Amino acid sequence: MVDIPTPSLFYDGKPQTSSSTQTFQSIDPSTALPLTTITTSTPTDIDAAIASAARAFPTWSSTPAPSRARILLHAASLLRSRTPFLATLETLDTGKAYSETSAIDVATGADALEYFAHLVASSGLSGEATPLRPDAWVYTAKAPLGVCAALGAWNYPLQIALWKAAAGLAAGNTLVYKPSEVTPLHSSVLAALFAEAGLPPGVFNVVQGGGETGAYLAAHPGIAKVSFTGQVATGRKVAAAAGAGLKYVTMELGGKSALVVLADAEVEQAVDGAMMANFYSSGQVCTNGTRVFVPRRMKEAFEAALLRKMRFIRPGDLMDPATNFGPLVSRVHHEKVVGYIRHGIEVDRATLLHGGLGKLDLPDGVAEELKSGFWVRPTVFTDCTDDMRIVKEEIFGPVMSILTYDTVEEVVRRANDTTLGLAAGVFTKDLNLAHKVIAQLEAGITWINTWGESPAEMSVGGWKMSGVGVENGRRGIEAWVRNKSTLVDMAGEVATVFSKL
Ligand code: NDP
């Protein structure tokens, strides 16, 4: 395995000793055993990290974009070359299989660094010029915001940190990053890697701790913007705290997304999509398509194909390349997901097609300590109705709900009947219909005949209660800059009403 680094407070370009004696533990979700102990950052520590970021801002923000880009590209190349180490850390911390973290988590973070480095180096931060009259015009410029706070969720720790850092740093801001206390292992490793790539001290800083640490950052007068990824309930608190200081915000929040299988869809393809939308990362993906709408006449064929493919879900030793299903991230989250499965069986009374309560069968020969991990059985409910709690609320675990429908008009109305609007998608061979349905679905991230891919080129962000603003893509940079408009008048005289009596 790897030597597990102890995450620390990090500012002025190096690890710092916290002024606190309070600690918390990082736990291996696959065994429930502790990995390392982390010291919480105090308000004094956080003030010091913000002060470091403020000192670094004037120089970093005025560094030419191609020079900033060179450093970010160097960091991306270091990340790629250290994929085995970084992916192992993510696997230990999150419980996701190494087959996932090595293929996706590190690479998609490095992709974002490369994307935004190239974007800002090739005019991504340029403004516009608008002629007004022969002797006057308006030009605009984009300016970085200042010291920004980045608050991350536990499901894609390194990727979330890098998506925020890539756009934020490329635009010329400096950052103070707080990882989730559930998954902190990557945090100061990433800060050290940035320093090695040539990022000046103070440009990327890390503080450690739970909700209180995040709340302190969100309300701090030295913070110009809060970029938050997490639950809707937390997002509301963070946005309110940031709003009190009129800070910029980006909110990447939860979802309860609809995956719509249209009547002419290829059943096998739709089932593959539904499985990716529910069981990848053991269902701990914000864009999960957990409400699977299937035409009534296709229900039997869909469920038969799904049951056939459920046996391709392979829990086990997370470092085994064949393993594609891990435990849930923590004991607390395990209790929450199991509670929803129990509710689905006992209160909602949905039909349990697969999985349910009870121990997940791990393959013979796995290490004994894996049996104490936070595993849950991949679960499918069918005959679900829109009013069931398992259909209405985000579970954030491997729990699929199958709902049937009769008409396209009906399925669009029901898919939109939620306060959330993160993702949605359709499976069909009829591309005209696909576009018509997609145009009516109230969600910020949509797919046709696929599910889950979210490349750096694609701007992503939720509608309704699922978020504010976007990350990634060309629009992603706009969330990290403010506009300055300048009117230039060359007429030689100021247009004034005060020149005559
Ligand atoms: P949480 O909302 O619990 O936590 C998110 C971050 O906020 C953590 O760092 C957390 O710290 C911190 N935090 C907690 N309380 C406060 C507070 N009062 N003020 C400031 N910060 C606070 O989310 P989870 O970590 O449980 O993540 C899962 C959620 O994230 C799901 O709902 C999922 O849908 C969503 N998500 C959305 C994505 C998107 O792009 N839309 C992507 C990924 C996840 P700590 O963990 O240490 O308590």
User: What are 267-293's pLDDT values in tens digits?
Assistant: 999 999 999 999 999 999 999 999 999
- Look at residue 392 and tell me whether its pLDDT is greater than 90: yes
Measure the CA–CA gap between 158 and 34, rounded to whole angstroms: 20
CA of 94 to the centre of ligand 1 (A): 14
Tell me if 200 sits within 8 A of 59, measured CB to CB: yes
Of 162, 176, 229, 290, the residue with max ligand 1 atoms within 8 A of its CB, to mutate for a pocket test, comes to 229
Residue 481: both structure tokens together: 């800059």
Q: What is the mean pLDDT of residues 130-155?
A: 97
Mean pLDDT of the residues in the chain? 97
Question: How confident is the model over 128-134, as a mean pLDDT?
Answer: 96
The helix/strand/coil state of 470 is coil
SS (HEC) of 176-205 = EEECCCCCCCHHHHHHHHHHHHCCCCCCEE
Residue 90 catalytic?
no
pLDDT band at residue 495 using 50, 70 and 90 as cut-offs: confident
- Tokens found for residue 309: 């493919």
The mean per-residue pLDDT over the stretch 478-487 comes to: 97
pLDDT at residue 123 in the model: 80
pTM of the model: 0.97
CA of 464 to the centre of ligand 1 (A): 17
Looking at residue 12, its pLDDT comes to: 98
Does ligand 1 come within 6 angstroms of the Cβ of 469? no
CB-based contact 178:208 (threshold 8 Å): yes
Nearest CA to ligand 1 atom 37: 253
Q: For residue 140, what are the contacts with CB-CB under 8 A and spacing of at least 6?
A: 127, 128, 129, 483, 484, 485, 486
Residue 152 Cβ contacting ligand 1 at under 6 Å: yes
- Pairing relationship of beta strands 258-261 and 291-295 according to DSSP bridges: parallel
At 312, list the tokens. Answer: 């391709």
Catalytic position from the list 114, 181, 252, 394 = 252
**Mean predicted confidence (pLDDT) in 107-118:** 98
Distance from the alpha carbon of residue 208 to the mean position of ligand 1, in angstroms? 14
Query: Which residues contact residue 33 at a Cβ distance below 8 angstroms, ignoring those fewer than 6 apart?
Result: 27, 369, 372
Task: Determine the pLDDT at residue 330.
Answer: 98
Mean pLDDT of 114-134: 94
Does the pLDDT of residue 496 top 90, yes or no? no
Q: Where are the extended beta strands (E) located within 109-187?
A: 129-133, 136-144, 147-151, 174-178
Q: What is the mean pLDDT of residues 68-90?
A: 98
273 lines ligand 1 (CB under 6 A): no
Task: List, edge to edge, every strand of the sheet that includes 351-354.
Answer: 351-354, 379-382, 399-405, 291-295, 258-261, 423-427, 445-448
Using the predicted structure, report yes or no on whether residue 348 has a pLDDT greater than 90: yes
CB within 8 Å of 323: residues ≥ 6 apart: 97, 98, 99, 314, 315, 316, 317
